[in-house]
């Protein structure tokens, strides 16, 4: 019997641990506990996902949200250390690149507990991004690397990781996308609040924006909102706002055009119900770049770089940064129906979590 702690803390983590938990449920050789660090804590950023994901509630909830990066990371580390003292897991599984990923991998490794990193090897090579630091530190001490795209393997090998520790398994986020898409297909459209928006707007785009580099600086946020407002006069946009972005729009007194519909953060299913039928996704999220590639929806990423290059080389994604000109040129191409169709990357087939479970059982 292998004893595992499965860690989640922020919104994109919940979708990534769900397929792993569902896969662990199918074997009696793994005993696992789910730990939620509480990095994200609003109902709409956290609890609602557990309700939809078909996994049990966390066994531990640390309530370590808010504060600066150091405060948040430290709060998680102190509490996680004492839980590991009691639980003594054989393996800690961390996903993604958030502060919770970093905090829990460091604690486990110092206690000589093996660490598996899911979504390992991704690099934006942009050290101004907190996530890049989290990725680099987590990968520098992990024992098992589960990789979503080929470039991840290249990066890890360059950093000297032994071949035997690197496993190209595909993407658990995409496993979850297919799982929830199938579920959604069986539910009447009226189940979702977002269906009302779709009834009023036959063609529309979706927006998500929360990166500090886009939303923490007044001038940058003004430029970005101005560009989105221009687009929305041609194609109506719906924008579920992250708490960080909402706070900054209010503080800076920036008002998006009325053709941009602002909503609170949405549950996974509510948001999927919207973006799966959208004309374009305008985003700075990591996950949405990949999910739009999986479903062939055009995506314009408001960043200068991406740690997920396969979404550009094989998928439907383009990087436009914060330049209005670049954004408009690419937007016009999409509106003209002149966009690349892309292909689904290798192993993005809904079976990544099964491969992870098999690898853990064999290692």
The answer to whether residue 210 is catalytic is: yes
Least distance (Å) between residue 318 CB and ligand UD1: 20
One symbol per residue from 125 to 154: x for binding ligand UD1 (CB under 6 A), - otherwise; what is it?
A: -----xx-----------------------
* Closer residue to ligand UD1, CB minimum distance, 119 or 235: 119
One symbol per residue from 225 to 264: x for binding ligand UD1 (CB under 6 A), - otherwise; what is it?
A: -----------------xxx--------------------
Q: Does 39 bind ligand UD1 (CB under 6 A)?
A: yes
Which residue among the candidates 40, 167, 210, 242 is catalytic per the annotation?
210
Least distance (Å) between residue 102 CB and ligand UD1: 8
Cβ burial of 261 (10 Å; 0-12, 13-18, 19+) is middle
Could you tell me where the beta strands, DSSP code E, fall in the chain? Answer: 2-8, 30-36, 60-61, 91-95, 114-118, 144-147, 166-168, 205-208, 237-240, 260-263, 280-283, 299-301, 317-319
CB atoms within 10 A of CB 235: 18
* Closer residue to ligand UD1, CB minimum distance, 283 or 351: 283
* Closer residue to ligand UD1, CB minimum distance, 236 or 287: 287
Helix axes 11-24, 286-295, angle to 10 degrees: 60
Taking CA atoms, 270 is separated from 17, 213, 263, in Å, by: 19, 27, 11
Q: Which of residues 58-117 bind ligand UD1 (CB under 6 A)?
A: 65-66, 97-99
Say which residues have a Cβ less than 8 Å from residue 264's Cβ, sequence separation at least 6.
Answer: 44, 240, 241
Which residues here bind ligand UD1, judged by CB under 6 A?
A: 10-12, 39-42, 45-46, 65-66, 97-99, 130-131, 210, 242-244
Active site members: 210
């Amino acid at each position: 019997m292998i004893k595992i702690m499965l860690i989640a803390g922020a919104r994109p983590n919940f979708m990534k641990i769900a397929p792993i938990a569902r896969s662990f449920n199918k074997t009696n050789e793994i005993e696992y506990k789910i730990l939620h660090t509480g990095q994200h804590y609003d109902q709409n950023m956290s609890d609602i996902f557990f309700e939809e994901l078909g996994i049990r509630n966390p066994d531990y909830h640390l309530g370590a949200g808010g504060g600066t990066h150091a405060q948040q990371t430290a709060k998680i580390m102190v509490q996680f250390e004492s839980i590991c003292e009691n639980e003594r897991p054989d393996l800690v599984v961390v996903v993604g690149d958030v502060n919770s990923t970093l905090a829990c991998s460091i604690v486990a490794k110092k206690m000589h507990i093996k660490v598996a990193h899911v979504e390992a090897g991704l690099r934006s090579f942009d050290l101004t991004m907190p996530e890049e630091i989290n990725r680099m530190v987590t990968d520098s001490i992990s024992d098992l690397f589960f990789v979503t795209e080929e470039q991840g393997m290249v990066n890890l090998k360059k950093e000297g990781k032994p071949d035997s520790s690197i496993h190209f398994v595909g993407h658990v986020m995409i496993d979850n996308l297919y799982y929830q898409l199938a579920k959604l297909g069986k539910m009447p459209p009226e189940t979702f609040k977002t269906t009302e928006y779709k009834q009023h707007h036959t063609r529309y785009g979706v927006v998500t924006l929360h990166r500090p580099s886009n939303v923490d600086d007044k001038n940058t946020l003004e430029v970005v909102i101005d560009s989105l407002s221009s687009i929305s006069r041609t194609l109506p946009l719906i924008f579920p706002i992250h708490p960080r972005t909402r706070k900054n729009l209010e503080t800076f007194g920036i008002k998006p055009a009325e053709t941009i519909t602002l909503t609170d953060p949405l549950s996974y299913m509510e948001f999927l119900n919207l973006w799966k039928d959208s004309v374009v996704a305008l985003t700075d999220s990591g996950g949405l770049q990949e999910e739009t590639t999986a479903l062939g929806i055009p995506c314009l990423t408001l960043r200068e770089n991406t740690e997920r290059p396969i979404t550009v080389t094989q998928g439907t994604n383009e990087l436009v940064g914060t330049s209005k000109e670049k954004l408009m040129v690419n937007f016009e191409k999409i509106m003209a129906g002149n966009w690349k169709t892309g292909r689904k990357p290798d192993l993005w087939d809904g079976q990544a979590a099964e491969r992870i479970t098999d690898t853990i059982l064999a290692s």
